[in-house]
Amino acid sequence: MASRSKPKRGAGASLFWDLLTFDRLMTNSVIHLIYWAGLGVIALGAFGTIGAAVGVALREESLMGLMLAIPVLVAGLLVVGALILLWRSFCEFYVAIFRLSDDLHVLRQQADAERLAPPRPAAARPAPPQT
């Protein structure tokens, strides 16, 4: 693989060039935005769960309505908690995958540099003793 030399550019042009050639990935910043957007959706689900529990309690004016609303609230908040943990682990998985990709890119560059470097002369080995 031939090494390509990058012409010198300014900071903005370098960033633009890296994004066009996929030398620099923008997934770290994008994954943070996706994570917070997902947490917002999960928060909307939590508010919906609370609203459903309050709705059940208000619909039934007796003690039975309250007895139904408490399990709905508890179960809904447990599901929301599980969703938050799953969403966090999903986003961390993608960050880990892309960091592995960055590490492999660096290892490939090092291997190419070693391959293109002139070979070093082999050190003379002493002859094994004869018995």
Give yes or no for residue 79 having a pLDDT over 60.
Answer: yes
pLDDT at 3: 47
Give yes or no for residue 5 having a pLDDT over 60.
Answer: no
pLDDT at 30: 83
What distance in Å separates the CA atoms of residue 94 and residue 28, rounded to the nearest whole number?
9
Give yes or no for residue 7 having a pLDDT over 60.
Answer: no
* pLDDT, mean of residues 45-50: 92
Which stretches within the chain are classed as H helix? 11-21, 27-59, 63-116
pLDDT tens string 82-123: 999 999 999 999 888 888 877 888 888 888 888 887 777 666
| CA quadruple 62, 68, 71, 75: dihedral sign | negative
pLDDT > 70: percent of the chain? 79
Burial of residue 65 (CB within 10 Å: 0-12, 13-18, 19+) is middle
Nearest to residue 11, comparing CAs of 28, 27, 2, 24? Answer: 24
